[in-house]
Copies of this chain bind each other. A is one copy, B any other.
Amino acid sequence: MASLTAGNRRPVRLADIAKAAGVSHGTASNVFSRPEIVREEVRERVKAAAEAMGYGGPDPKGRLLRAGKVNAIGVATAEPLSYFFDDPFARVMMASISQACDATGAGISLVSAANNEQLAWNIQSALVDGFIVFCIEGGSRLVELARERKLPFVALDLDSEDGAVAAIGVDNIAGASLAARHLTDLGHRRFAVLALPFVDDRTGLVSPEQVRAATYGGTRDRLTGYLQELSRVGVDTSKVPVYETANDAATTRTGLETIFAAKEPPTAILAMSDRIALVTLEWLSARKLNVPNDVSVVGFDGVPEAAVSEPPLTTIAQPIAEMGRLAVKAILESDGKVSRQQLPVDLIVRASSAPPRG
């Protein structure tokens, strides 16, 4: 009881217990992986030896090399690891990825890193059968890294033009258009856009040229969808402020300050993510601006929090569960060919949007 065998190291291998039990390593291996084919008497002897020597079962490290398959999929992002548990969209997506993995018995490895170098190393050394890549900031670099591993991988939400990478995303143009249409139908004509990043590490009002040079096609597409619809009803889109946030609370608030500093503040805000929209609701409420009477807000994503916010958020719902399922399927049943799928989105009307005053 006082001194257990598990002192500090565990140099006890299968071969050791085979020797101790007086059998070949082949037989010892069988005792663990196919017990039914070894004679009971031998089996018990080997197991006893294993027990006595403090053997923890065949080391997966060894088994892995032979087996080839890890039976785990890697989920990668260029954000810190805690992004998976903090960000509402990521959480819902992860929950649906989890379900798909549970169903097939696959495990999940979280791969990420703050700095570039570490990220590269982590991706290169991840023990996985494939990657699902979250394309937020730094998405392109991440995709490049993942691609270099030559493992199956899909990018989530990537609207790159690069046809050589498999991707699962939504129809951003149609979705954004739907959001804008909802507001124009209500009668709004004064808008502001709170955008996701167009490129890395920049925030602030963006110009059309900057939009054209966007790294993130998804962001650009959403903007295209918004502006398409706005110009359809005659809004001068060159006057619509487009503020690029980092999809976090701080930059969103700065954006709102900027937008509402104008002489003619908008009556409707198009937010490219629910996260941005929810921060906006808070900010407006703190400013004593009533939503939806003073300002209407429409989000994008359809995270659960949007249903219980104050007021509940009108938003464009992505089929997150479906996307997760498809992504896992794409990895596990990878046939080597890249496929790009675009899923439809839904407008969910809640209480954060109404006709403008007057």
- Chain A residues with CB under 8 Å of chain B are 4, 6-8, 10, 54-58, 60-65, 68, 70-72, 80-82, 84-86, 91-92, 94-96, 98-99, 101-102, 105, 107-114, 118, 122, 124-127, 148-151, 164, 335-336
Contacts and interface: CB of A to CB of B under 8 A. Distances in A.
A81 B84 CA distance: 13
Given A64-B65, A105-B113, A110-B110, 17 more contacts: A6-B150, A57-B149, A61-B70, A62-B65, A64-B127, A71-B125, A80-B99, A81-B98, A85-B85, A85-B91, A85-B92, A85-B94, A86-B95, A107-B109, A108-B110, A109-B110, A127-B127
B107 A108 contact: no
Nearest to A80: B102
B80 A335 contact: no
Contact of A127 (B57, B70, B96, B113): B70
B107 A102 contact: no
B101 A118 contact: no
Nearest to A105: B118
Contacts of A126: 60, 107
A122 to B, nearest CB: 6
A199 to B, nearest CB: 24
30 contacts: A4-B164, A8-B335, A54-B150, A56-B150, A61-B64, A64-B64, A70-B127, A72-B127, A80-B98, A81-B99, A81-B101, A81-B108, A82-B95, A82-B96, A82-B99, A82-B102, A84-B85, A84-B98, A85-B91, A85-B94, A85-B98, A86-B95, A98-B110, A102-B113, A105-B118, A107-B109, A107-B111, A108-B110, A109-B110, A127-B127
B336 A56 contact: no
B56 A61 contact: no
Contacts of A96: 82
B108 A109 contact: yes
Which among A71, A114, A122, A127 has the greatest number of chain B C-beta atoms within 10 A? A127
Contacts of A8: 335-336
Contacts of A102: 80-82, 112-114
A95 B85 contact: yes
Nearest to A94: B85
A149 B126 CA distance: 21
Nearest to A122: B107
A174 to B, nearest CB: 28
A63 B61 CA distance: 10
Contacts of A60: 124-127
Contacts of A151: 56
A109 B102 CA distance: 14
Contacts of A94: 82, 84-85
Contacts of A4: 164
